[in-house]
Amino acid sequence: MEERVFVDQLPNGVRVLTEEIPHVRSASIGIWVGAGSVHEPPELAGICHALEHMLFKGTPTRSARRIAEILDAVGGQLNAFTDKEFTCYHARVLSEDLPLAIGLLGDMLRNSLLRATDLRCEKRVILEEIRQLEDEPDELVYEILLEQTWPGHPLGRPVIGTRRSVRSLKRETLVEFLARHYAANRVLVATAGNVRHAAVLDQTAEWLGDLTPSADPGALPAPVAVAFQRRLRRDTEQAHLCLGAPAYSQTDPERYPMAVLDVLLGGSSSSRLFQEVREKRGLAYAVGSCLLSFHAGGVLAVYAGTNPESADQVLALIRQECDRVLGEGVTDREVAQARSQLKGSMLLALEGTDSRMSRIARSYLYFGRVLPIEEIVRDIDRVTVDDVNRVARAVLPAAKASVVVLGPGVRWAARRSGPGGRCADRRAVERAQGDEEVHDGKAHTRRIPHDHSGVCLQGFPQSD
């Protein structure tokens, strides 16, 4: 596959990536800021997500309504998301309208008014997002899993913050946070489509060329995982099960064998868990696995939704399949099929300019370079049965596994010892009962096919 990827850096440190794709009519652009929930102090939890919302509320020359109308008028799309490690403002337009999109995003990033009246309104919107998540137990179980697996670590905190922290946000705090974190050396502009790199570079310099740099926040320490078991009462029709085990970071050399294990264990309709739990026994409609991977660490998560009376049986079946992988190993056929699925899903995703924009940005942010597609395909093809069995032995043992069960008729299990202790357990129960909130559920579907469109074997969706 021919790739025309160009990488430059403005004098102030803003990085500019372009993939030229002459045969398409569209262009996608993303302004990626190295500020996510892991960069927030606990008392400001959710400020990145709130700031993302506020950048759509108006500039001196564009009202909030005008911001919404500009790209609509040319058939384009404008959106943003906040993740644990990044915030991204992105647009997709016809290639001739790319200067319009760059100008709009640049104005939002540089000149947003951040009015106190708008913040009061937007905090109410975010609180509604929190309530939405509380009505989605199949998403809530993932938040509880991460919070309890990594107690006290920034990766364990929800992107959206808490009711208390959101309500306490003030305009002055947002202005200070933006000035400190939306700095030149933490901004990356990625574009893919029928565009010219030189033109993108000039247009980016016009809007972002005078951004000033700031101190680098430094790398997070690796989280220390704690195994636990929780059964939390919730008035739902189904029991929602989430099992997790510490896995590998986004940049770990074992990420490819880990991705193959994920696919064959629960990543498709032909996977072991789907066949055993749904196809053979009809015990669940939704069952599968995904990788939640970040710079500092990762988790392999398995989800199933089932009749509360079947919860223990489904848990036992999931454990049985993990033990079978450990005891018998995986087969040549399974590994070959999973490798093909990984490559196919990655290449199919690259049909869209938005996916290609995201691929080059994430690759550069994680690896400091854009990994060529051929290199990724080669590394996937190199994964052997021995490689998959090795990561399985490291990840799947029962002693490392954690379990969250959320649903009716379940009881709060015995408290875990170790970091987090009783307070962490109480927070999980409060979240399950709706007295606290967790990460915005709007864009979350954990059981979707994993994102392999680049190198990011990360299945953790973002917060709009």
Instruction: Give the gyration radius of the chain's Cα atoms.
Output: 22
**Exposure pattern of 37-75 as b/e (b: 16+ CB <10 Å)?**
bbbbeeebbbbbbbbbbbbbbbbeebebeebeebbeeee
Query: Are the beta carbons of 22 and 194 closer than 8 angstroms?
Result: yes
Helix 255-266 with 332-349: angle, nearest 10 deg: 100
Selecting among 20, 52, 143, 437, the annotated active-site residue is 52
How does DSSP assign 147-176, residue by residue? HHHSTTSGGGS-TT--HHHHHH--HHHHHH
59 — alpha (psi -120 to 50), left (phi > 0) or beta?
beta
How does DSSP assign 370-406, residue by residue? ---HHHHHHHHHT--HHHHHHHHHHH--GGG-EEEEE
Classified as helix, coil or strand, 207 is: helix
141 — alpha (psi -120 to 50), left (phi > 0) or beta?
alpha
Identity of the residue numbered 55: L
Classified as helix, coil or strand, 458 is: strand
Sequence-distant (6+) residues with CB within 8 A of 435 are none
Query: Are the beta carbons of 424 and 164 closer than 8 angstroms?
Result: no
Which H or E run contains 21?
A: none
Establish whether 52 is a catalytic residue.
yes
Identity of the residue numbered 248: Y
The catalytic site residues sit at 52
